Amino acid sequence: MALGCLMIDIQGLQIQDDEAERLLHPQVGGLILFARNYQSPAQLLALITEVRALRPELLISVDHEGGRVQRFREGFTQIPPAARLGELYDQDRADALLLARDWAWLLAAELRAFDIDLSFAPVLDLGGPLSRVIGNRALHEAPEAIAALGEAWMLGMRDAGMAAVGKHFPGHGSVAEDSHLEFPVDARALHEIEARDLQPFRQLIDAGMPGMMMAHVIYPAVDELPAGFSRAWVRELLRERYGFAGAVFTDDLSMVAATRIAEPVARVNMALEAGCDMLLLCNRPQDVADVLEVLEAPHDAEREVRLLAMRATTRLVPLHELRASARYQSTWARMQALA
């Protein structure tokens, strides 16, 4: 079955009958997991085995950056906030870049042991005290440091067979509001955003970043719509001006900053028309049901090629084998020292 354009979620530790029906819908192309879907390594493996038996080609993903955004904890390495890498970068750049690559490899390799395709990382937003939702999820406050550490992170994920997804394009670090709960607006001119916030994204595009997640932020100097609903941002700037050829993901279309735009079906169609490849619709099962009842997004061969390129590429390495490796043990020890 071809990959559809929706990435949806499930509510518990196992797939219910109505959820299985939704995962089989041709407009669905992915599943995103949350903390509520995790109890133990054995349960997670059983859940993903069930998903693969039902729909082998689905992209299975999770937000698993480290720090406060880590969905699986007990039985997994506790990943420090990304800002710890930035602190090390200020002390010893070469060492920080080596650790960033190993750090991202360990994070991705643990997820790959369970046949998970994607973790939505790294965060390429600017750090600093302004943005409450980003904070220490950011690698650094300086664009050039974020770009360097972000590239090392991307390469580490690639070492584990996982494609990186930079977020949140074109930058969420310069607005105070949390798009999960509020309606962020960044009133600066495009040249001001390009001078700082966009630098890491543009450098990572040039370095081969395979995936990008859009921000639910309005930049009125460019468009009155949030970036993930904006043809100006997705098609004209990200694709044409900056040359990004990878897969474009929306952030969750159920966040407050998205729900205020339109009702669910209209939001999905607007994001598709803007040029997004995969649309996340999470945490509101009735919205998913309503959208799947009427959505008729045509098959797009180019979109499917971009999404299929996000599938993991390595064989599954069991956790016990992974954790016996020298790279794992040395990286784990460094991470614990920074926790």
- Does pLDDT of 1 surpass 80? no
Residue 43 counted as domain residue: no
Distance in angstroms (rounded) separating the CA atoms of residues 142 and 207: 18
* 181 pLDDT tier (thresholds 50, 70, 90): low
CATH of the domain at 141: 3.20.20.300
The whole-number pLDDT of residue 314 equals: 82
Residue 211 counted as domain residue: yes
* Sequence-distant (≥ 6) Cβ neighbours of residue 183 within 8 angstroms: 177, 218, 256, 257, 260
Tens digits of per-residue pLDDT, 85-134? Answer: 999 999 999 999 999 999 999 999 999 999 999 999 999 999 988 887 89
Distance in angstroms (rounded) separating the CA atoms of residues 133 and 68: 10
Residue 44 counted as domain residue: no
Query: Which of the residues 63, 117, 251, 277 is marked catalytic?
Result: 251
Let me know: does 50 contact 24? Beta carbons within 8 Å: no
* Sequence-distant (≥ 6) Cβ neighbours of residue 225 within 8 angstroms: 218, 261, 270, 274
User: Is there a catalytic annotation at residue 251?
Assistant: yes
Query: Which of the residues 115, 159, 180, 300 is marked catalytic?
Result: 180
Please give the angle made by the CA atoms of 98, 103 and 106, to the nearest 5 degrees.
130
Q: What is the mean pLDDT of residues 60-89?
A: 96
User: Is there a catalytic annotation at residue 25?
Assistant: no
The whole-number pLDDT of residue 183 equals: 77
Distance in angstroms (rounded) separating the CA atoms of residues 329 and 313: 23
Measure the N-to-C terminal CA separation of the chain; round to a whole number of Å: 43
* 38 pLDDT tier (thresholds 50, 70, 90): very high
Let me know: does 81 contact 136? Beta carbons within 8 Å: yes
* 245 pLDDT tier (thresholds 50, 70, 90): very high
Of 255, 260, 249, 248, the C-alpha closest to 284 is 255
Residue 33 counted as domain residue: no
Residue 150 counted as domain residue: yes
- Does pLDDT of 261 surpass 80? no
- Domain count for the chain, please give it: 1
Say what the pTM is: 0.96
The residue range of the domain holding 151 is: 110-339
* 257 pLDDT tier (thresholds 50, 70, 90): low
Tens digits of per-residue pLDDT, 276-288? Answer: 999 999 999 999 9
Whole-number percent of the chain with pLDDT over 70: 98
Residue 309 counted as domain residue: yes
Of 337, 270, 324, the C-alpha closest to 297 is 270
The whole-number pLDDT of residue 32 equals: 98
* 262 pLDDT tier (thresholds 50, 70, 90): confident
Residue 331 counted as domain residue: yes
Residue 175 counted as domain residue: yes
- Does pLDDT of 328 surpass 70? yes
- Does pLDDT of 294 surpass 90? yes
